[in-house]
Structure 1
Amino acid sequence: MKRYYKIITLLLIGFLSMQSCNSSNRNNKMANQPQSKLLKAVSEKDVQLVRAILNSKPDLEIQDKNGRTALMIAAYNHYNKIAALLIAAGADVNAQDTMQNSPFLYAGAEGNVELLKMGLENGANFNLYNRYGGTALIPAAEKGHLEVVKILTKIPDYPIDHINKLGWTALLEAVILSVKNETQTAIVKTLIDAGADVNIADNDGVTSLQHAKDKGLDDIVYILLKSGAK
């Protein structure tokens, strides 16, 4: 009986070892695939290697453990030269990772004008939103990225008055969260000139005008009143 159990134990050990080897082989195989090499090459900012890998026509939408494509990795690191290569090869500017960022959304939020323009030229989807339910315009308005705001508000069908999960439009967020300076005033004026609704209130029923008054933003109060804010 002891001999029988010993044989069974040895067989199980052998089976598990084979499974481990097979798993290791699969992992090694994945590591050697062009797709995995592409993610690594982008992370290491190896432009020449990225070019070489792209010649093999890899799957550009393969994701890492955080759901990031090669283009998303380039976007996070502001590797615009690599981003341009990937987009030219067909990478999706709208692919979202586990944080719900996409290259286009992140470009707007970070004020990366070059990548933003590449996104607009390659099928940027205005109906995709970040984890706060916002567009590329809303965080741009908050963070003082005036050039991004100017670009997006000139697009005829861009959702300027989109309301995010916090109950804020780009205008509300520009008033509530932006740093008080000339750029903030310029962003508010740009949004209003582009047709932003000055009377949309937040979830508490407070309008941009009331927020501006509460924060002592006299220049913005003047602009809002002149634009029909109540």
Structure 2
Amino acid sequence: MWGRWPWPAALLAAALVLPMTAAAQPQATGQAMVDAVARGDIASLDRLIAAGASLQATDAAGQTALLLAVRNDNLDAATRLIAAGADINAQAANRDTPWLLAGALGRTTMLRQMLPKGPDFSIRNRFGGNALIPACERAHVDTVAFLVTTRIDINHINNLGWTCLLEIVILGDGGPRHVEVARLVLGAGADPSIADRDGVTPLQHARRRGQREVAALIEAAGGR
């Protein structure tokens, strides 16, 4: 019963409510998608993707479902979300993107799946770096081997004034994995002459730290 409302007014009120309800639905199901990834519930994730839930919904930290899948190393979830069209360049509040975080955490398979989706190589993390610099720092050998085959800027300088090669030396331990990533980036065109803000070169840093194998690689590449 519509009470005292005339029929046209009642219909208008109903028409206003319906669009609002419909508009709220994608966001609600998008949040459900974020929650499903957070708890590793692939069955629910599949249902939500099939129902057309928003792939761009975020949690309180601005993290999309795909970013959470990368963070949690959930390849099944990431594969589904990437295939469904989730934005690999969406930045969270801390400036992480799925692409940047996958590089930092060494999620090579995820990076390979993201590459055809068009990573934005100009986006920087909170340290002003690209995906390659933290991958080198942490000596993710397979990830570095993949990233140097892309259009990524091997000689990009981050907010600290460091290239990927400088991070290998300054933050690395000179062990076999750091030796290998140094070999990879030098082979891909890393410039050994780019010094830090104090004018200290990668070779000088390597020698000071007793990283003999890394220093030999840098010297062989023309470093001074």
TM-score range, shorter chain: 0.7 to 0.9
Does residue 165 (structure 1) correspond to residue 159 (structure 2)? The answer is: yes
Q: Any conservation in 1 of the 2:132–2:152 contact (CA below 8 Å)?
A: no
Task: Map 1:75-154; keep pairs closer than 5 Å.
Answer: 75-154=70-149
Shift of 1:194: 0.6
1:45 alignment partner in structure 2: 40
Q: Any conservation in 2 of the 1:42–1:50 contact (CA below 8 Å)?
A: yes
Computed over aligned residues only, the root mean square deviation of the Cα atoms, in angstroms, reads 1.6
Runs of 4+ in 1 over 3 A off after TM superposition: 29-32
The amino acid that maps onto 1:107 is A
TM-score under structure 1 length normalisation:
0.84
The amino acid that maps onto 1:89 is A
TM-score under structure 2 length normalisation:
0.86
Change (3 A) 1:120 1:210: same
Residue of 184, 188, 192 corresponding to 1:190: 184
Q: Any conservation in 1 of the 2:27–2:54 contact (CA below 8 Å)?
A: no
Shift of 1:151: 0.7
Residue of 175, 178, 183 corresponding to 2:169: 175
C-alpha deviations, 1:115-170, integer Å up to 9, x for none? 11112121111111110000110000010101111111122x32000000000000
CA distance in 1, matches of 2:142, 2:194: 24
How many residue pairs are counted as aligned between the two chains? 202
Q: Any conservation in 1 of the 2:174–2:214 contact (CA below 8 Å)?
A: no
Residue of 204, 208, 217 corresponding to 1:223: 217
The amino acid that maps onto 2:117 is N
Find the structure with the greater CA-based Rg. 1
Q: Any conservation in 1 of the 2:63–2:93 contact (CA below 8 Å)?
A: yes
SS across alignment from 1:33? helix
Shift of 1:32: 8.7
SS across alignment from 2:85? coil
2:12 alignment partner in structure 1: none
Q: Any conservation in 2 of the 1:76–1:106 contact (CA below 8 Å)?
A: yes
